[in-house]
Structure 1
Amino acid sequence: MNSRIPVVAATSLGVCALALGGAGTALAAEDDDQAMVSVLHAVPGLTVDVYANGDELIPDFKPGTLTEPQPLPAGSYDLKVFEAGADPKGDPALEKTVEVPAGANATVVAHLDAEGNPRLDAYVNDTSKVAAGKARLTVRHVAAAPAVDVRAGGQPVFKDLVNPKEDTAEVNAGTVSADVVLAGTDDVAIGPADLNLQEGTSTIVYAWGSAQDKNLALKVQTLTGMHSAPSGVNAGAAAGVDGGDGWTAYAGGAGLLALAGALAARRAVTRSRV
């Protein structure tokens, strides 16, 4: 991998102002004063340290790591991102104050684009109800790889998916064997892997890594609490990146930094009680 990637990717993790406000109204979290944010680190070969309000909050954030969802109090945070191990008293790759608005359930993904350049995208996670006996399956292409088809039980479920797009479907609950093949072929790029699609859950599968470096992998995120009564119906589709195919665009930005800010706020409250 190009030696410039660590600095470029570290900067990309914080270079944009947090832009959740536009999505917050339509996709509000259950608590109007908070958002829920998870972060997936999907840039191979890069480790970073994240600081908020002077505190080290996510040290040695390694590729393939998915954070637990964190409540994000609205507020203002001074964020700094350093290459892992860098002196925090020195100049950060970026220093920025961000305003964190309320609303939205999202996963921010630091990953490679199709050409292998680091980028940051944010995806809104659909937490609407699914029909009884069903589960929601979403696949997000965040790998340095060409278009792919995603198969379940050997049959294509999602076709011609390109980076950084996503696709979703409501499927029967149960365990399925899934793999990722090059679009229009039977050439397996990732898998197979067994997915336990439990009733009332949303399973999000990320295809990440680099085809050229032969480190393609899957990361699975599961959201719960979407059960419906037997007469229930699906309440709607998820919002995703870049629009198209009915998706609502979700503005990318400092998602990792927002998570750091949430942890900083928690730490401040804890200290005030000591």
Structure 2
Amino acid sequence: MFSPLFFRTPMTAFVRVFHASPDAPPVDIYANGKILVKNLKYKYFTEYLKIPAGNYNIKVFPAGKTTNPVIDTYLSIKPETIYTVAATGMLKDIKLLPFIDPILPMEDGKTYVRFGHLSPNTPRVDITLPDGTILFDDVGFEEITDYIPVAPKTYTIQAREAGTSNIALTIPNIKLKPNRFYTIYAVGLLGKKPPLQVLIPLDGNSYIDF
């Protein structure tokens, strides 16, 4: 069903990069001086890249540039670990946040979902169903929740200002398939452009085999 690329290799990890900075241009990303990602645009994810575990100097440049990086930082990548590394925040204070996509036991027939808050100007939120049932509560910018199991079906969810009934965003028709891990990422800007929205990729722990 899934590509043999993702079979276990000792001392390697899988990393995808997510451009979630709403006012940053497309970027090129270098790891220890070598190009890793080219022309990654806002709201886009790379595929999961298989890389050796270890310590990396990461430089992020506007696409096509090789001077004055907007990010110059270090990441430590553990073996047999799956990461989503998000470029987040406004351009003036952009940073890289590594989120682990953990390998977890899965109850057959269930779907597992979590929420990541990457909207710089949106306050702390509760993620709810339309009837007010809270899935995730009081999540702040640059925080990510644990996974929770849910029934696989089509959902409408709402982001509400934490502790209130004030709805910041309603997202209909979210189809969640069984035996999968998903993260609901909130990106963009509340009341400004680019607008607040969610992206719901399939996480690598759904199919990468360690």
Fold conserved between structures, TM > 0.5: yes
Amino acid at match of 1:66: F
Do the aligned residues in 2 keep the contact of 1:149 with 1:161 (CA within 8 Å)? yes
Larger-Rg structure: 1
Question: What is the aligned partner in structure 1 of residue 14 from structure 2?
Answer: 36
Q: Percent identity?
A: 25
Residue 206 (1) aligns with residue 185 (2): yes
Amino acid at match of 2:89: L
TM-score (norm 2): 0.77
Amino acid at match of 1:103: E
Residue 107 (1) aligns with residue 84 (2): yes
Cα deviation for residue 206 of structure 1 reads 0.5
Amino acid at match of 1:149: D
Alignment of structure 1 residues 170-181 onto 2, 5 Å? 170-181=149-160
> Partners of 2:60 and 2:83 in 1: how far apart?
21
3-state SS in 2 of match to 1:121:
strand
Q: How many residues align?
A: 193
Q: Which has the higher helix share?
A: 1
Provide closer, same or farther for how the CA distance between residues 75 and 129 of structure 1 changes in structure 2, counting only shifts above 3 A. Answer: closer
> Partners of 1:160 and 1:98 in 2: how far apart?
28
Amino acid at match of 1:105: I
Provide closer, same or farther for how the CA distance between residues 219 and 120 of structure 1 changes in structure 2, counting only shifts above 3 A. Answer: same
Structure 1 unaligned spans of 5+: 1-28, 227-274
Cα deviation for residue 78 of structure 1 reads 7.0
Decide which moves more: 138-147 or 56-65.
56-65
Question: What is the aligned partner in structure 2 of residue 64 from structure 1?
Answer: 43
> Partners of 1:221 and 1:78 in 2: how far apart?
26
Amino acid at match of 2:12: Q
Residue 118 (1) aligns with residue 94 (2): yes
Amino acid at match of 2:151: N
Cα deviation for residue 107 of structure 1 reads 0.7
Cα deviation for residue 139 of structure 1 reads 0.5
The equivalent position to 2:123 in structure 1, one of 146, 154, 158, is 146
Residue 222 (1) aligns with residue 191 (2): no
Do the aligned residues in 1 keep the contact of 2:116 with 2:144 (CA within 8 Å)? yes
The higher relative CO (CA closer than 8 Å, separation ≥ 6) is in: 1
> Partners of 1:171 and 1:210 in 2: how far apart?
28
The equivalent position to 1:161 in structure 2, one of 129, 136, 139, is 139
The equivalent position to 1:186 in structure 2, one of 165, 181, 197, is 165
TM-score (norm 1): 0.61
Provide closer, same or farther for how the CA distance between residues 121 and 99 of structure 1 changes in structure 2, counting only shifts above 3 A. Answer: closer
Q: CA RMSD in A?
A: 3.0
> Partners of 2:108 and 2:33 in 1: how far apart?
47
> Partners of 1:51 and 1:147 in 2: how far apart?
33
> Partners of 2:72 and 2:157 in 1: how far apart?
41
Cα deviation for residue 72 of structure 1 reads 1.1
> Partners of 1:76 and 1:169 in 2: how far apart?
31
> Partners of 1:190 and 1:30 in 2: how far apart?
39
Cα deviation for residue 132 of structure 1 reads 2.0
Decide which moves more: 217-226 or 135-144.
217-226
Moved runs in structure 1, 4+ residues, more than 4 A?
A: 52-57, 75-80, 94-101
